[in-house]
Amino acid sequence: MITIEFTERQQKIIDIVKEHEPITSEQIAKILKVTRATLRPDLAILTMTGVLDARPKVGYLYSGNKPVNLISERIHSIKVKDIKGIPVVVEEQTTLYDAIVTLFLEDVGTMFIVSNGYLAGVVSRKDFLRNIMGGTDINKVPVGLIMTRMPNIVMTYSDETVLEAAIKIIEHEVDSLPVVEKVETEGREYYKVVGKVSKTNITKLLVELGRQ
């Protein structure tokens, strides 16, 4: 079995919940004098390992479980490469119209944009909607003009754990992460998109583990 060592802040969160349960994330953040966004990855770890119990409209409670169980052990052992899906990728010069058509044909919420074969940006449904409502000519404007560009893209790697990827998704409030391989060319680093991990991938994994 894997023994989980919590950080100092995570241990403080456990102590606060023990003393004040039920308590909301907003209340915990106020006690620790940090933002709720700062606490998201910590609370995700504590609930996924079974130490805390999160109840909608109630708050967090201390479950009393030891931070070791079969599900947490499996989550720590499963790698991104084990659950990654096929990414939807288009070139930076693709028009918004063609990109939108691809988005709906592939039924995804996020597209990864490449230039010369390497990751250049990310576009979500919200980005498309925002530009359509703004009157952008979708037949002329390339998707590269509306994408979130490198280096402001949150990525994951095949050898990272699913838990690490899930924490990134929660912490950065995104729906999907590109799975990348680092490539060095002429002294510069580039990233090749080799897959994706989304909230759906992770939810399916949790359902599968729960059924087991």
**pTM (2 d.p.):** 0.67
Q: Are residues 57 and 88 in the same domain?
A: no
> What pLDDT sits at residue 121?
95
Q: Are residues 68 and 166 in the same domain?
A: no
Query: If 0-12 CB within 10 Å is exposed, 13-18 middle and 19+ buried, where does residue 63 land?
Result: middle
Cis peptide before 56 (omega within 30 of 0): no
Q: Are residues 139 and 190 in the same domain?
A: yes
Q: Are residues 196 and 121 in the same domain?
A: yes
Q: Are residues 100 and 58 in the same domain?
A: no
Q: What is d(CA 154, CA 186) in angstroms, rounded to the nearest whole number?
A: 24
Q: Does any domain span residue 157?
A: yes
Q: How many domains does the chain have?
A: 2
Percent residues over pLDDT 90 in the chain: 56
Instruction: Report the relative pairing of strands 89-91 and 110-115 from DSSP bridges.
Output: parallel
Q: Does any domain span residue 177?
A: yes
Q: How many CB atoms lie within 10 A of CB 3?
A: 8
Q: Are residues 72 and 116 in the same domain?
A: no
Q: Are residues 57 and 141 in the same domain?
A: no
Q: Of 77, 107, 135, which one is at a domain's C-terminal end?
A: 77
SS3 state at 22: coil
Domain extent at residue 194 = 80-211
Each as own residue / partner, the long-range contacts of residues 128-137 (CB below 8 Å, 24 or more positions apart, any chain) are 128/96, 128/99, 128/100, 128/103, 131/96, 132/96, 136/96
Q: What is the pLDDT of residues 141-169, one digit of tens each?
A: 999 999 999 889 999 999 999 989 988 99
DSSP state of 161: B
Q: What is the pLDDT of residues 17-46, one digit of tens each?
A: 999 999 999 999 999 999 989 998 889 888
Q: Does any domain span residue 204?
A: yes
Residue 179 tokens, joined = 């799975």
Q: Residue 131 — very low, low, confident or very high, per pLDDT cuts 50/70/90? A: confident
Place of tokens 């241990």: 11
Q: Are residues 72 and 98 in the same domain?
A: no
> CATH number of the domain that 148 lies in?
3.10.580.10
Place of tokens 């989980």: 4
